[in-house]
Structure 1
Amino acid sequence: MTERTELFPPLAASRTGFLPVDGLHILYWEEAGKPDGLPVVVLHGGPGANSSPLWRQFFDPAFYRVIQFDQRGCGQSQPTGELRDNTTAHLVADIEALRRHLGIERWLVFGGSWGSTLALAYGQAYPRQCLGFILRSIFLCSAEEIAWYFENGRKFHPDLYAGMAGLLPPEERGDLPAAYMRRLVHGERAAAIPFAQAWANFECARASIAGGAPPLPDDFAWTLARIEAWYFSRHGFLAPGALLANMSRLAGLPAVIVHGRLDMLCAPLTAFQVAGHYPGARLHIIPDGGHTAFDPSMRVALLRAADQFRRNQRFD
């Protein structure tokens, strides 16, 4: 059988809806593919990004029932950019609330970058509700990773780092994340937009080995940067080492991890650590892969993982 190398054709959502999860937050969700197919929940990155129709093109629509949603404060979820009651524990509870709302017994969990953090946190909280995991560009939101995220950017993309630092007065450039946090989280939205655009460009331009990134709409850049700064400043609201320490809770659940050797945002070391602590997980380091799922070799690896699960409902 010839291996698929291109995404499945664009697929429209067959159902959409809004799910109130508390007195403040309302989540937007959508479903596509086979209504009675094998369910897979797709967790978007950021934190602060949103779901995209592109993600469902990794899954055979004749087999999979693809569920997506915008996390708190993101995309079409309301209220936009809201930080109150917006923590990892809240997001984990939201995933479980959506599963129950849709009447799904167990599902495959697919997530990359921050989505992999959230996938592991959810799986450790609700292992019996998971069929397995496809994880990309592993990130655990640790203090070390966040520090590396900025320092690596300074070393390998000094022009992008200088662009961020250049918006700040000289006396604030010694702690770039803290300076941006003050403006993105505590400052006025209009005044924060240039800082949000610089933050988003710093991230997006480093995500692909092809480099470059088109300018983002102001609203998207603000939401991404604001929520990302919020989570980064609190190390993802996770206790140090907690996700690695609790990886045994996932024993027996099949998992494939895809990580690019050339990932400039998330160090491959973290993927090795997760694979070493996760009993039975299969790690694939992609020699010419970057951070994004859509670079050619990363795309092929993820399509292969979804197809293996389709054919075997496990990762052989």
Structure 2
Amino acid sequence: MYPPIEPYEKGRLDIRASQFPVADIPPVVCNDPLVVVFLHGGPGGGVDPKDRQFFNPDKYKIVLFDQRGAGKSTPSACIDHNTTWDLVADIERLRDKLSIEKWHVFGGSWGSTLALAYAQTHPNRVRSLVLRGIFTLRKSELRFFYQDGTSHLFPEEWSRYLRPVEPRKRDDMIKAYHSLLEDPDEKIRLGAAKAWSRWEMATSRLFVSQDSLERAEEDDFALSFARIENHYFVNDGFMRDGQLLEEQSIAKIRHIPIIVVQGRYDVVCPPTTAWALKMAWEANGAESASFTFHLVQDAGHSSREPGIEKKLVEAADEVVEKY
């Protein structure tokens, strides 16, 4: 990782939608000349100052922003007018506001979903894609993590995750949590938010991070993270099942160089989805730009694991030199 740096410019992107209050999305910009936009995970996770450290500040202008309802974006935890396609439009508004013709797009987990959706909508605005922990919001992916899959590997944490939900409602945990997270009782909402957030924080690394578990107990973070994530997942990401992997979708972006970094033991976004993306990219011998696939053997899901960090830094260095 590159040394910590401070942004030289901060600002807000004001978005007005009908029957919706102003949504302030704060972009953070660092040095010239080429531009990378960093798309955070969740949805609802928000950016972290350390996210700048994937990039060489002597090579890149670095753009970080909190997506609708996340981090310093306001209104916090708001799910009104908050869909995949609203966020895609926000990214394009931000590019236009900053007078950037084309940029590199870098995203992990939900950030990889959003990066693919953005690139497929605006393919001529993307120089390269660096993606980590591929997630395409298919029903099978959601079921594995929230219903029947990861639960077999983390039974003690799964038991904690089950507690807020009545046994008769446990056949659809995403739907059950949606009711809890929208409950009129603030105590119930917050308890559910912390349980939802802990489940992901407890399973994201090969070795559980105490700092991550403590973050799941922070009221503001937990509520924003859980409420927005659940809103997206209960609505299937506002797209067709498998839409991002369809031939008509992949064909739009095959000309874009892509580097994928995936943890072998990622139980949040398992390697099968990254492999499905690779197979879709290379289907029928179609002509394409380079597809580079790094499977990190000693890592789970988190971008903060050493092997993942190393490969992401190398990927960011490679694309800025080549593309």
TM-score class normalised by the smaller sequence: over 0.9
Residues 144-183 of structure 1 aligned to structure 2 (within 5 Å)? 144-150=140-146, 151-183=148-180
Return the TM-score normalized by structure 2: 0.91
- Would you say 1:92 and 2:88 are equivalent positions? yes
Within the candidate set 194, 203, 206, 1:206 is matched to 203
- Would you say 1:244 and 2:245 are equivalent positions? yes
- Give 3-state SS (helix, strand or coil) of 1:41's partner: strand
Residues 104-183 of structure 1 aligned to structure 2 (within 5 Å)? 104-150=100-146, 151-183=148-180
CA distance in 2, matches of 1:237, 1:84: 13
Q: What is the deviation of 1:220?
A: 0.3
- Give 3-state SS (helix, strand or coil) of 2:71's partner: coil
Does the 8 A contact of 1:21 with 1:97 survive in 2? no
Unpaired runs of 5+ residues, structure 2, are 282-287
- Give 3-state SS (helix, strand or coil) of 2:214's partner: coil
* Paired AA for residue 307 in structure 2: S
Within the candidate set 14, 28, 31, 1:30 is matched to 28
CA distance in 2, matches of 1:89, 1:310: 27
* Paired AA for residue 52 in structure 2: R
* Paired AA for residue 44 in structure 2: G
Q: Deviations over 1:192-242 (max 9, x none)?
A: 111111111100111111114332211101100000000011111111221
Q: What is the deviation of 1:171?
A: 2.4
Residues 1-316 of structure 1 aligned to structure 2 (within 5 Å)? 7-23=1-17, 24=21, 25-32=23-30, 34=31, 36-150=32-146, 151-212=148-209, 213-216=212-215, 217-245=218-246, 246-278=249-281, 279=288, 280-313=290-323
- Give 3-state SS (helix, strand or coil) of 2:11's partner: strand
Does the 8 A contact of 2:183 with 2:189 survive in 1? no
Q: What is the deviation of 1:292?
A: 0.7
* Paired AA for residue 25 in structure 2: L
CA distance in 2, matches of 1:29, 1:306: 20
Q: What is the deviation of 1:275?
A: 1.4
Q: CA RMSD in A?
A: 1.3
Unpaired runs of 5+ residues, structure 1, are 1-6
* Paired AA for residue 95 in structure 1: I
CA distance in 1, matches of 2:170, 2:91: 38
* Paired AA for residue 49 in structure 1: G
- Give 3-state SS (helix, strand or coil) of 2:101's partner: coil
- 1:4 matched residue in structure 2: none
Does the 8 A contact of 2:137 with 2:241 survive in 1? no
Runs of 4+ residues deviating >4 angstroms: none
Aligned length: 305
Larger deviation: 284-293 or 41-50? 284-293
Q: Deviations over 1:236-289 (max 9, x none)?
A: 111122111111101211110011110010010110111122233211111112
State the identity as a percent.
Answer: 36
Q: Deviations over 1:55-98 (max 9, x none)?
A: 11010011100001110111111111111111001000000000
CA distance in 2, matches of 1:187, 1:105: 45
